[in-house]
Homo-oligomer: A and B are copies of this chain.
Amino acid sequence: MSGLDNPALNELEDCALIDMPAGRLAFSTDSYVVDPIFFPGGNIGDLAVHGTINDLAMRGARPMALSLGLILEEGLPLADLQKIIDSIALASKKAGVPIVTGDTKVVPHGKGDKIFINTSGVGIVPAGVDLGARQVRAGDTIILSGTMADHGITIMVARNKLAFEGDIRSDTQALHNLTLALSERANGALHAMRDPTRGGVATTLCEIAEMAEVSMILDEAAIPIRPQVQSACELLGLEPLYLANEGKCLVVVAEDFVDDALRIMRQRPEGRDAAIIGRVEDGLAGRVEITTLAGGRRLVTALTGEPLPRIC
């Protein structure tokens, strides 16, 4: 496929071979069925590259290689396919993570929906790095790397061809350089990272709180959100806490690392708007509460099912 050249892919054998440094292997997969396939800020192609890179990054892995599986519906305009492949190639190049193996299948018109993409990824977790919800404990601080709900509201607006004032665009971007910068300097004080995709910040934090058997208290006023996204959510009656993000991460750190973590994140463009949004407390396992703008407190529950299907 044009634009994707690299030595491992160019061998054209049944699988790719990759020289790997020592460490544990991180392995992740995601299928992308986003509708529409083109949206402000990106398309299904770069979304698929960033999404799988981010899944590896959240466990402290250095992403090493991606696979690319395409399922094309007959009738997809070749120009659209080329545009998507170009975005994949550019995203892969910018991230420094090559696509080393791939596969393409074609299904008849009416048996698919333009294009579905699977990307899987491998990465290496350096010795000593052990991140995950189970490391989270009372007293930890919760940081969000930037504004919430950008991707979810963008898809909602694009799908329904709504018109809003202001620039509404997906935040799709790779986060591994930010997460690696954090984990390299954390000395065990970085406990968990998660990208709040489907189900948004609220659902992701509920999941962490449940697995870690802790409570959390969030501060609504502290959660970064673009004014135009906030307005669109209000007009559409959507709760931004539940909308998907594709270029943000939640970072849970020990108190003594909070200042360093914020500084490291804000030094990078993808973490420029990083902010403390809450803290971890002893309490009922899985209970997440939020102090609202009005000064009250309410319970935040996990979303079951999909609020907005085909968001990624």
Contact = CB atoms under 8 A, between A and B. Distances in A.
Contact of A20 (B25, B102, B118): B25
Contacts of A118: 29, 31, 69, 118, 120
A172 interface: no
Interface stretch (A11-19, A141-149, A258-266): A11-19
A229 interface: no
Nearest to A28: B15
B70 A101 contact: no
A122 interface: yes
Contacts of A29: 67-69, 101-103, 118, 120
B107 A14 contact: no
Interface stretch (A58-66, A160-168, A216-224): A58-66
A33 interface: yes
B103 A13 contact: no
Given A29-B103, A106-B306, A211-B12, A125 B68 contact: no
A26 to B, nearest CB: 5
B27 A15 contact: yes
A307 to B, nearest CB: 13
Contacts of A19: 24-25
Count of identical protomers in the assembly:
2
Main SS of chain A's interface residues?
Answer: strand
A155 interface: no
A276 B108 CA distance: 38
Interface stretch (A109-117, A240-248, A277-285, A294-302): A109-117
A36 interface: no
A16 B33 contact: no
Given A13-B58, A111-B112, A132-B11, A105 B20 contact: no
B27 A16 contact: yes
A153 B22 CA distance: 45
Given A12-B211, A18-B24, A107-B116, 13 more contacts: A13-B132, A14-B59, A15-B28, A16-B28, A17-B27, A28-B101, A29-B68, A29-B69, A29-B120, A30-B103, A69-B120, A106-B306, A107-B310
27 contacts: A12-B211, A14-B54, A14-B56, A14-B59, A15-B58, A15-B59, A16-B26, A17-B26, A20-B24, A25-B25, A25-B122, A27-B65, A27-B67, A27-B120, A28-B67, A28-B101, A29-B68, A29-B103, A31-B71, A31-B105, A32-B105, A69-B118, A107-B310, A110-B110, A111-B112, A111-B113, A112-B113
Closest 5 CB pairs of A and B: A15-B28, A29-B67, A120-B120, A118-B118, A111-B113
